[in-house]
Chain A
Amino acid sequence: MSADGLSIAAAVKAGETSAVAVAEAALARIAARDPVLNSFTTVTAERALAEAHAVDAALARGEDPGALAGVPFAVKNLFDIAGVVTVAGSKIDRDLPPAGVDATAVQRLNAAGAVLLGALNMDEYAYGFTTENAHYGAAHNPHDLTRIAGGSSGGSAAAVAGGLVPLSLGSDTNGSIRVPASLCGIYGMKPTYGRLSRAGARLFAASFDHIGPFARSVRDLAAAYDAMQGPDAADPICTDRPAEPAIPALTRNTEPLRVAVLGGHFAGEGIAAAAVASAAKALGATLTLEIPEARRARAAAFVITASEGANLHLADLKRRAGDFDPGTRDRFLAGTLVPATWVIQAQRFRRWYREQVLALFHDADILLAPATPCSAPLIGQPTIEIDGAEVPMRPFMGVYTQPLSFIGLPVVAVPLRRSGEMPIGVQVVAAPWRESAALRIAAALEAAGVSNAAAANG
């Protein structure tokens, strides 16, 4: 399926097709192709058809079902879906009762007319960058089934890149939207920390937890983001700022944006550096800026994540450690032992680092950085080669994403498609609350033909 979500919504609204026909086609694609991708863990067929019928009925009554009328979407399986157990990639949480209500993000996409198709595979409790899940199997990269989709929102990226659905939701704590978007060659957005409500989404490390969309066009990404904006008392860090719609900014705002490339820690090598260079060239960016102490920022994010994540699961780690995925278990166990002074130092460093980074936005509106150090490694591959040195693959995939989510900056991961090779993404980074600027630059790269997120199966 090559159409983006807004094309589908336009066709549904124009009566060229029906939301039910669109949902049935998506269910057929999932049935045909997901046995190899392994991106879905639950397919909500009955609910999807009921929602699609409601969209068609609204249109028949002359009502507008919303900007995403009839657009199929699916969510990482840490989002609550009423009547479904929120497993968050774990075996342990299968013992929980089904969710009573939908997560806020699901409610808001539904309210915009989108149709929920199901829940998607992920790393256990979001602690990983590979979606090689011991309980549910690995999500496969639609561009090469022998390779990882990335993680932790790997199913969310694979389902969109494989053309099963045009839109999905993931979460990003240290790179879990941007890494799989890069490896699967699609757009992914991690808005400003606190912009979108996380209510009804299973937390991992609350200091850094964000949610956001994946799509194959920038306008779909923006439309989904717009549909989910707005205050929500059910999430204590969700902003009270009024929604700032990005779609109007994409089409009408022409105020020039100053683009710089991040050097130093973010300079990258090989194809990661080449990807940033080609984006910079297309945008006419010549300025290079450096974020001080980015390596320490990654370290601080690492320490806080280990400690917060482990604390959240302490009861199960004490009672049933053997039921955790061996890929996350020992990290969670170690995280229970982190001394308080390391965590407090990391949180204080976060404050200092934030001030240093915000100062860079006096000289540029947008910062460019690689999204991942390489394109998708093979499933089961233990190490990657960086600057001629072998480094452990799993933690290293977040080397460029982690120092940015650490202070909650909004980022759009923009895929660069290279003919005959695996895709890789670039991070388009803006100042806090300036998601629209990042989306405008992503759209400029898409319009220039530098970026392309066509589905892997055409």
Chain B
Amino acid sequence: MADKPFDAAAYVDAVAMVVGLSLDPAHLPGVIFNIEQIAQMAGLLMDFPLPDDAEAAPVFTA
């Protein structure tokens, strides 16, 4: 995850605008809580060194 503390409220504000999501203020605390949870989970992953040849395995057949 980010090296400095994650400002979830600012992030939600900015990215919701980018994806075109206008959030009901009543939903905002729950959304911030959930993006913090996801960020915490992502932190575990972004910390983990993966070899360059660890390629995702999508099921796509041309």
Contacts and interface: CB of A to CB of B under 8 A. Distances in A.
Interface of A: 194, 236-237, 293, 295-296, 298-300, 302-303, 306, 314, 317-318, 321-322, 329-331, 333-339, 341-342, 344-352, 354, 395
B55 interface: yes
Contact of B20 (A318, A334, A346): A318
Nearest to A324: B27
A359 to B, nearest CB: 15
B48 A329 contact: no
A291 to B, nearest CB: 15
B56 A337 contact: no
Contacts of B58: 347
A299 B57 contact: no
A303 B56 contact: no
Contacts of A333: 21, 23, 27, 30-31, 34
Nearest to B22: A318
B31 A318 contact: no
B27 A293 contact: no
Interface in B1-44: 11-12, 15-16, 19-24, 27, 30-35, 37-38, 41-42, 44
A303 B27 contact: no
A330 B34 CA distance: 7
Given A317-B21, A337-B12, A351-B54, A342 B59 contact: no
A348 B55 CA distance: 5
A352 B51 CA distance: 8
Nearest to A301: B41
Contacts of A338: 35, 38, 42
Given A344-B56, A354-B57, A337 B27 contact: no
B27 A321 contact: yes
Contact of A349 (B19, B35, B50): B50
A337 B16 contact: yes
A402 to B, nearest CB: 11
29 contacts: A194-B59, A296-B45, A296-B48, A299-B41, A300-B41, A302-B37, A302-B41, A306-B38, A314-B19, A318-B22, A330-B34, A333-B21, A333-B27, A333-B30, A334-B31, A334-B32, A334-B34, A337-B11, A337-B12, A345-B42, A347-B56, A349-B48, A349-B54, A350-B56, A350-B57, A351-B54, A351-B55, A351-B57, A352-B50
Given A333-B34, A335-B38, A348-B55, A303 B45 contact: yes
Given A334-B38, A337-B11, A351-B57, 9 more contacts: A236-B59, A306-B34, A306-B38, A314-B19, A330-B34, A336-B16, A342-B42, A351-B55, A351-B56
Interface residues of B, number: 34
Closest 6 CB pairs of A and B: A330-B30, A334-B34, A347-B56, A299-B41, A342-B42, A299-B44
B57 A295 contact: no
Contacts of B21: 317-318, 333, 336-337
Nearest to B38: A306
A11 to B, nearest CB: 42
A350 B24 CA distance: 35
A99 to B, nearest CB: 25
B4 to A, nearest CB: 16
A293 B55 CA distance: 18
B44 A296 contact: yes
Contacts of A236: 59, 61
A204 B30 CA distance: 21
A337 B35 contact: yes
B43 to A, nearest CB: 8
B34 A346 contact: no
A303 B48 contact: no
Contacts of A342: 38, 42, 45-46
Given A237-B59, A330-B27, A337-B12, A345 B45 contact: yes
A341 B46 CA distance: 9
Contacts of A345: 42, 45-46, 50
A385 B32 CA distance: 25
A194 B57 CA distance: 13
A403 B2 CA distance: 24
A337 B45 contact: no
B62 to A, nearest CB: 12
Contacts of A354: 57
Contacts of B55: 348, 351
A36 B34 CA distance: 33
A337 B38 CA distance: 10
